[in-house]
Structure 1
């Protein structure tokens, strides 16, 4: 299987520990797909700075093709991750140079893969039709569960992923049924401690969340996506693909960062923790009863 992850990247910064990790939905999916045995590529933009170098080095170390990674002048984006009262929150962030547009060479490159993946945080909505014309498309809608944003994009999506912790099981099943009725072949939702659901247009499959000692849930949902996609592509079937995805997502929750490769925070970021308004961080695929350690 060849998968092209197209879109966002970010540097996840942990000021309390003084470490930063490469990440971002599409980067994380590419890395975990490669770890699952896929031939993965990443198409995106990272700055000509230390954080950009960290991202490139990590992707190359993981065997991800970075031949279509742009390196424009400017900073690589960052997001600060902070623990407040035992709960993980987000502090200051900046997307840096991550926003970009695909050119014809990018589209030809994507077309050489079996599957493309992108997400709501990539800001490539206008280019999804061009990708979908060339290759089956996976898309992470996050909490856009059947709203106008999802309705506009779902006709182009083959594999639709949602974060549905805010919905009960019946409402989640309705979203997945709606997605398949609108053209998706497979629709999947994660519901935190309540596990995950997958609908293939005929059968609804449920999988409990992995029971782990949670350290950091960052990247768990992206890991889940990567293993669902690689599992289905290799013929594992829906139930086994969900089981493996849940297990691997749970494992990611046991250590900081989405896939490792830490380095000391750059000097320009070390003061960002001093003043911020905490925003609750999302826990997608790990039990909510297992709280992150401070």
Structure 2
């Protein structure tokens, strides 16, 4: 089983703490899937700067295939963060060379050698999703908290496993999940922070519980949850067990500062 992550990658920088690390939705997902035993690749772009070298060195150590991680002239994407208690607060964002990134034909051919493809709203491959899905890849899409993004309605028909983040279980999110499911995904899943998670298969809602832990930093919780969930899907687990698998991995990640 081969996993491809094609999406936004960056360095999270906490200036007040003098800490930083390589991350991004696809980066975190690929690292966790690789640790779970799946050959994983990252298709994205970094700059020819020290942050770019850090990204490449870190992923090499993790065993990620970075043969299609482009090094472009310019700066690696950076997101400024602060901690509010144990919750991250986003500050300024510099996309750097991600603004220039687009898939080459070699990238496309490489992605087609995988079984699953993970991406996000900022990975710059949205126009290729219908092709990848029709070619047989299972598509995993992390919409994060952007439930109102105008592109979602166009994206969902090309998504097999859709993931969103929201703050609570209520009528709005249940109706939203039904709407999203009707557009095409096999499953729509929403992480609800301390309130657990919810998955909808078109017939029933399945509730997952969060696992109480001492939280250090919530960064990476959603990405690790998705990895744990997809791990369950690949193993043929029931939806409740997939939710538990996601929660278990996420609970281990938020007890540490870095996202993996």
TM-score, normalization by structure 1: 0.83
**Superposition pairs for residues 134-145 of structure 1, below 5 Å?**
134=135, 135-145=137-147
**Superposition pairs for residues 142-221 of structure 1, below 5 Å?**
142-145=144-147, 148-165=150-167, 168-221=169-222
Q: Which residue of 2 aligns with 1:7?
A: 7
Q: Which residue of 2 aligns with 1:34?
A: 34
**Superposition pairs for residues 234-253 of structure 1, below 5 Å?**
234-253=235-254
Maintained 8 Å contact 1:146/1:178: no
1 CA distance for matches of 2:142 and 2:130? 15
Matched residues, number:
258
Structure 1 stretches of 5 or more lacking a match? 260-294
TM-score, normalization by structure 2: 0.93
Alpha-carbon shift at residue 85 of structure 1 (Å): 6.7
Of stretches 120-129 and 77-86 in structure 1, the one that deviates more from structure 2 is 77-86
Q: Which residue of 1 aligns with 2:113?
A: 112
1 CA distance for matches of 2:114 and 2:204? 28
Maintained 8 Å contact 2:228/2:248: no
Alpha-carbon shift at residue 195 of structure 1 (Å): 0.9
Q: Encode CA deviations 1:125-156: one digit per residue, 9 max, x unaligned.
A: 22222322322211111233366421111001
2 CA distance for matches of 1:6 and 1:78? 17
Which fold has the larger relative contact order, with Cα–Cα distance below 8 Å and residues 6 or more apart in sequence? 1
**Superposition pairs for residues 204-283 of structure 1, below 5 Å?**
204-259=205-260
**Superposition pairs for residues 48-63 of structure 1, below 5 Å?**
48-63=48-63
1 CA distance for matches of 2:147 and 2:94? 26
Q: Which residue of 2 aligns with 1:286?
A: none
2 CA distance for matches of 1:138 and 1:246? 17
Alpha-carbon shift at residue 23 of structure 1 (Å): 0.1
SS in 1 for 2:215: coil
Alpha-carbon shift at residue 7 of structure 1 (Å): 1.1
Alpha-carbon shift at residue 19 of structure 1 (Å): 1.8
Structure 2 stretches of 5 or more lacking a match? none
Alpha-carbon shift at residue 240 of structure 1 (Å): 1.3
SS in 2 for 1:33: helix
Taking only aligned residues, the RMSD between alpha carbons, in angstroms, comes to 1.7
Alpha-carbon shift at residue 110 of structure 1 (Å): 0.9
Alpha-carbon shift at residue 84 of structure 1 (Å): 4.7
Q: Encode CA deviations 1:97-148: one digit per residue, 9 max, x unaligned.
A: 1241112211111111111010012233222223223222111112333664
Q: Which residue of 2 aligns with 1:80?
A: 80
2 CA distance for matches of 1:87 and 1:228? 22
SS in 2 for 1:177: helix
Maintained 8 Å contact 1:146/1:175: no
